[in-house]
Amino acid sequence: MTVVYNLDQIKSAIDFESLIASQEAGFVAYSEGRVDVPPVGYLGFPEVRGDCHIKYGRILGSDYFVIKVATGFYDNPSLSLSVGSGLMLVFSQRNGRLEGVLLDEGFLTDMRTAVAGAIAAKYLAPKQVQRIGIVGTGVQARMQLDMLKQETDCREAVVWGRDRAKATEYAEEMSAKGFSVEAVDGIRNLAATCNLIVTTTPSREPLLLASDIRPGTHITAVGADAEGKQELDPDIFAKADIVAADSRSQCIDHGDISHGVRSEVIDPTTLIELGELIKNRNLGRTSGNQITVADLTGVAVQDIQIATMVFENLQFKHAKG
User: Which residues sit at the interface with a second copy, rule CB under 8 A?
Assistant: 2, 4, 36, 38-39, 41-45, 48, 50, 52, 54, 56-58, 65, 67, 69, 71-73, 76, 79, 81, 84-87, 89, 91, 93-98, 101, 103
In sign, the C-alpha dihedral spanning 90, 143, 281, 276 is: positive
In the complex, minimum distance from the CB of residue 50 to a second copy, in angstroms, rounded to a whole number: 5
DSSP of 236-265: HHHH-SEEEESSHHHHHHHSHHHHHHHTT-
Question: 288, exposed or middle or buried, with CB in 10 Å at 0-12, 13-18, 19+?
Answer: exposed
For residues 150 and 118, the answer to whether their CB atoms sit within 8 Å is: yes
Q: Whose Cβ is closer to a second copy: residue 42's or residue 153's?
A: 42
Q: Whose Cβ is closer to a second copy: residue 2's or residue 280's?
A: 2
In the complex, minimum distance from the CB of residue 315 to a second copy, in angstroms, rounded to a whole number: 17
- 3-state per-residue secondary structure call for 33-68: CCEECCCCEEEEEHHHCEEEEEEEEEECCCCEEEEE
Q: Whose Cβ is closer to a second copy: residue 76's or residue 189's?
A: 76
In the complex, minimum distance from the CB of residue 98 to a second copy, in angstroms, rounded to a whole number: 6
In the complex, minimum distance from the CB of residue 312 to a second copy, in angstroms, rounded to a whole number: 20
Q: Whose Cβ is closer to a second copy: residue 89's or residue 245's?
A: 89
In the complex, minimum distance from the CB of residue 156 to a second copy, in angstroms, rounded to a whole number: 38
Q: 200 in helix, strand or coil?
A: coil
| Displacement of CA 279 from its chain's centroid (Å) | 19
Q: 117 in helix, strand or coil?
A: helix
Q: Whose Cβ is closer to a second copy: residue 195's or residue 308's?
A: 308
